[in-house]
Amino acid sequence: MEASVAQGTMANSNPGNGSKRILQIGNWPPPVCGWTMSLVGLRRELEARGWDCLVMNLNENRRVKSEEYIDVQSGADYFKKVLKHVRRRFGVHVRVNGETRKGYVLALVALVLARFFGCPALLTYCGGHKQAFFPAPKGSFRYFAFALLFRIPTRIYCNSEAVKRSVLTSGVNGDTVVPIPHFSAQYVEFEQAALPGSVETFCRQHRGTFFIYVCFRESYKLQSLAEAVRRFRAQFPEIGFLLVGAPERELPLLKEFFKNQGLEDAVCIQGSVPHALFLTMMTGSLAYIRIPLTDGVCSSVLEALRLKVPVLASDNCARPAGAELWKAGDVESLLKLMSEAVTNRKAMVARIPEIDIEDNTRKLADEIESIWKLFGDDSDLRTRIAPAAPGAVGAGRQEKKLN
């Protein structure tokens, strides 16, 4: 099956006779998250190198028409637009994690279409080393599903060696899996942003604030968070909590939840905010609390450490050096770290090591160009660089150019 999907159905022509064209499929802001930051940076880098880089937007704003990206109105619309671009010799670079069935199907469709038409097919696995659907027990449906997905791309990119080891449990060829962290030096280059009036007022009313990225989802453990906030406020009533990150559709649910918990005055909920404002709020906080276990090496955690903001993170066995770890489900261990952030923050900051940041955006662009060169220079090489476990491709800009 692998050979027939990955090699036997490719078209005979090269993708564009040297022209560098790539369709990046992923999240485009707003809202802003780690996926959008990496996509924005990669697009900028590839366009600076002369690529025709189009973005197909899968974010919450995907149905909104824009000159910045290709909108997606439905599943059929997605299929039609991916097909249109691979037939015009665009490589494909799609992102997926192990948390959503829909994302899996979208990635599978794009990769199969790219391979069928002989175009580079690149996949970035954005998941951590342990997520809801992957890795999976051998012999299970989920195991075979991801084993299939990971055998189609020309290359698979992931965030770390730990995630690579997770991907390799599917049985794919290790040579096709390339660990390149999403986080890059440009992420912490920002100018302080003016705080919204509600945030400024909230900060004035409190002696200090904790900064938390939170959404209305199971992985953010809202009941445990509410318990921690309630118990902490009993001891430190002058400390507040800035909550950011939730997309617009989740904001009413999040606000209603904290209202029902009787914690309306303890929190300031802002939802998704521009990156400069995100970092401005983070750097003004006592510490950054990171809740999910499924995120692997999180970009915002590295941002905080680089900016010398203490990070209080759930221990998922993949946190970078310098993060202060608490055991998931153990509110007491989190409260202990929160108390130290109030009473002895300087000591916490002193424990943060220097975080070396490579230009990983450039590194990924170099890798993509090396794959494209092989496809463009010799069509016979398409089968040589796609062993039993190939990868995936990506890029984006206005669809208008193609019409």
What pLDDT band is residue 337 in, cutting at 50, 70 and 90?
very high
**Each residue of 254-296: pLDDT tens digit?**
999 999 999 999 999 999 999 999 999 999 999 999 998 888 7
Same fold, 2-184+359-402 and 188-350: yes
Rounded CA-CA distance 122/222 in Å is 35
Residue 376 pLDDT > 60? yes
Task: Check if the beta carbon of residue 119 is closer than 8 Å to that of residue 89.
Answer: yes
**Residues near 78 by Cβ (< 8 Å), separated by ≥ 6?**
56, 72, 106, 109
Cα separation, 16 vs 86, in Å, equals 10
Q: What is the pLDDT of residues 133-189, one digit of tens each?
A: 898 999 999 999 999 999 999 999 998 888 999 999 999 999 999 999 888 888 888
Strand order of the β-sheet with 239-245 is: 267-271, 239-245, 208-214, 287-290, 311-314, 324-326
Do 76 and 46 form a contact (C-beta atoms < 8 A)?
no
* Mean local confidence (pLDDT), 19-39: 90
Q: Select from 89, 79, 99, 100 the least CA-distant residue to 25.
A: 79
Given a cut of 60, whether residue 384 has pLDDT beyond it is no
Mean pLDDT, residues 79-108: 96
| CATH 3.40.50.1820 is right for the domain spanning 2-184+359-402 | no
Q: What pTM did the predictor assign?
A: 0.81
- Name the residue ranges covered by the structural domains of the chain: 2-184+359-402, 188-350
Assess if CATH 3.40.50.2000 describes domain 188-350: yes
Give residue 85's identity as a one-letter amino acid code.
H
